Structure 1
């Protein structure tokens, strides 16, 4: 998400393939071997801030969603296939799903019992699922997807617009429009096909592989081949002007702009190209197979979201907001925190990208911005000392000022301590070593000390974990 404002982001069948070698879903039993001691998979992965998000027992590797949406009735339907690996033998397992009516469930083609427990969908297959086996789950469901209110009061999930809708997922909203393992620690590839009334466009993550007419409707098939956390998945349906090009490095670029935002977005396609190329030079090779943006008309949303490959903007973005959300493609999207408490690894890094951009484009130096934050004279500096950026006190605080502004200050103090050469080596190594994976704060500190050859414990104790405003800037 962005600090200016926050950046976060059926009638039918959903088929889900889950692999049996990961915590949560396991392969459907074809023999008794490997099922000894089978137990129910857990509801939640034990995240300190969101204990009920995600599910134990499986690790999804691929979702295939086939959705059909009618804006006039706000009805969604779809089919999805998800592959995963299981870490234990399971007698049952959970999927996260908020609202919607579940009509039928199967596991490997055999009927499975389904039970709703709030936002948990508990599936009990006909036989226990042995560790280490791939299995396929089909969920048939229908209804009007929900808009979810976050702990901080913002809206996500499925949100209607004046000409369609958008699915936004940070931190919990993806479960409003598809069942899955809704936690950033479980990343997967996605294929999303969305069928909408003719004349509308459906935009999603990755590359548009196919567009076909189906009677009075049009189907858009999107493929996102690199691993993606569920909170970064999106579908935006509406009237869009589409701009396609490639960056100078021949990276495909897709920018969709709502006509109501066209006047303020005339430079957005060129800016996406410029920012993507600048950040590639600064942080290392762009981590995905395409870039772009979605500029919608939803002015009451009041945040942007770093949805993978195409950041979502509720209205025409300024240059700094583009810099912030595109920087998340490296910090947050490719390298994703294991748990929500490490949100500063997303937002502090994307905020510092803004500082570096300003420094490199004839604005204030990063050192001047740091001092303006410390002195409280920068417009974004309010509230940055409320809590340590690496220790948000509650789920409602993960998008607050310390995570953004003070998180960026931590990085500037690191840069001062190790020098520019080591600092930028740290950033590039971070995104290279953890490309498409999950990582945590402990690993970032260890990497910083390894590359710099310095003991940085005091620096991080004061600026990252310390309470209140440090005495010296």
Structure 2
């Protein structure tokens, strides 16, 4: 029988081609880029340039319908393409406009294109899939009282959408979110278009980032939210997203953000992105998270003394997540072993801010950290070579050693090279690596340049040593001693969700 339909003929030929290709290839297997802490995270062979993610939300009990479109460039010849993806069902896949075979291998989605992809050529991938918010014990979607939010750190973005889920491969993002009447959807970046009406009273919201972003920093919030707009330093657009019912109560906190940005800019330079704001969710996560341009906070953090959080502490935590916009978001760690550069710097500016409020001196906090440092290193490894999380404890990587233990390195560096040189290091670091990735050796090299001498021998024991070195300028600080950590010093955690232990701090004699 002759096939009279060109479209049908092409479809059958493509299917036959896929079957023949699959027959000669070995079974698919999960791949990774060899990260020491997450060896199967990320995928070799291509560089993602952009994601275009469409999500249709119904309710928290129903998987979202989704389409993920990826623009990439092949770095090597590819007979198969691995994407990180789990917790969803794939309906179809295309590579460069043609149907592609799809299979699962571990937490990878493995695509077999109709034709091998040549090196140094464009790569266009489209996957139609579901995104399941249920059973989010491993992170990704976070269920709130009125909808959803996203918390992907460290390795949970691929529980939401197919991606190259490693911070080394940053990309631009477009989000298209359809939500029922009465709901508001927000995402990283700026609105890409006015909200558009869809069937049955639903609305589609579109957002685009103007700077590349790691997958772990993506944020989508869907809820009965109020979106508040104001202007920050030098005309910076500020956008806060809060439960509509809590708008009035939260307003005094939201008004503080502009001052926090001014404070940070005085120390490290201009804010690096297109806008900023806080997303306050009615959820108990046990962490706050620096999602790019829109930091995620628990509603309970702003409950005041009733929850044991004094005002100065809450402000310091807000500065912690803001500082991450420079350290971790704009300058992203090349590997997860470089996490100390994120958390150490955010903790440093959090502590510096609290010191300026006269509530918890930096010297006191660093001396207390010094006393516990050996204990933290024994439990979690040295700051720049942390131990991997135990099986089933994915947020276990976020231990005190990469928070106050890492801030202690910055304190030691400042004591060694002086405040002026240290401040130059900080400004150069965020300026020279803006919108890029960088690692520990890059930081050592830059610090050495500003100090006018090679600091490798000084910094290596602080970064990689099993024991904490002597603190420059403080001969009275005795060698660290073993002691029980005060309650809360391990930080707050939420089992199975994305990480952000709140650094332990003492307020008026009370540990929170």
TM superposition score normalised by structure 1: 0.85
Residue in structure 1 matched with residue 412 of structure 2 by the alignment: 413
Residue in structure 2 matched with residue 129 of structure 1 by the alignment: 117
Greater strand fraction, Structure 1 or Structure 2: 1
Q: 1:200 aligns with which of 162, 183, 188?
A: 183
Distance, in Å, in 2 between the alignment partners of 1:201 and 1:282 is 35
Following superposition, the deviation at residue 137 of structure 1 comes to 1.5
Is the 8 Å Cα contact of residues 147 and 156 (structure 1) preserved in structure 2? no
Following superposition, the deviation at residue 72 of structure 1 comes to 4.9
Aligned pairs (5 A) from 1:12-411: 43-142=31-130, 144-145=132-133, 147-149=135-137, 155-209=138-192, 210-215=194-199, 216-259=201-244, 261-262=246-247, 265-299=250-284, 301-315=285-299, 316-317=301-302, 318-375=314-371, 383=376, 386=379, 387-396=381-390, 397-411=396-410
Distance, in Å, in 2 between the alignment partners of 1:157 and 1:49 is 19
Q: Deviations over 1:179-207 (max 9, x none)?
A: 01000000001010111011111111011
Moved more, 325-334 or 392-401: 392-401
User: Any idea what SS the aligned residue of 1:359 has?
Assistant: helix
Is the 8 Å Cα contact of residues 98 and 146 (structure 1) preserved in structure 2? no
Distance 1:260-1:408 versus aligned 2 partners, 3 A rule: farther
RMSD: 2.2
Distance, in Å, in 1 between the alignment partners of 2:422 and 2:470 is 24
Q: Deviations over 1:395-430 (max 9, x none)?
A: 354200000011000001101111111101101100
Following superposition, the deviation at residue 41 of structure 1 comes to 10
Distance 1:344-1:142 versus aligned 2 partners, 3 A rule: same
Structure 1 unaligned blocks of 5 or more: 1-39, 150-154
Residue in structure 2 matched with residue 424 of structure 1 by the alignment: 423
Distance, in Å, in 1 between the alignment partners of 2:34 and 2:345 is 25
Distance 1:148-1:341 versus aligned 2 partners, 3 A rule: farther
The answer to which structure, 1 or 2, has the higher relative contact order (CA under 8 A, 6+ apart) is 1
Residue in structure 1 matched with residue 6 of structure 2 by the alignment: none
Q: Deviations over 1:187-237 (max 9, x none)?
A: 001010111011111111011232122231111111112010000001111
Distance, in Å, in 1 between the alignment partners of 2:412 and 2:467 is 16
Is the 8 Å Cα contact of residues 64 and 81 (structure 1) preserved in structure 2? yes
TM superposition score normalised by structure 2: 0.79
Following superposition, the deviation at residue 385 of structure 1 comes to 5.8
Following superposition, the deviation at residue 454 of structure 1 comes to 2.6
Following superposition, the deviation at residue 285 of structure 1 comes to 1.3
Distance 1:88-1:72 versus aligned 2 partners, 3 A rule: closer
User: Any idea what SS the aligned residue of 1:91 has?
Assistant: coil
Following superposition, the deviation at residue 161 of structure 1 comes to 1.8
Between the two proteins, the alignment pairs up a number of residues equal to: 426
Structure 2 unaligned blocks of 5 or more: 1-27, 303-313, 391-395, 472-476, 478-512
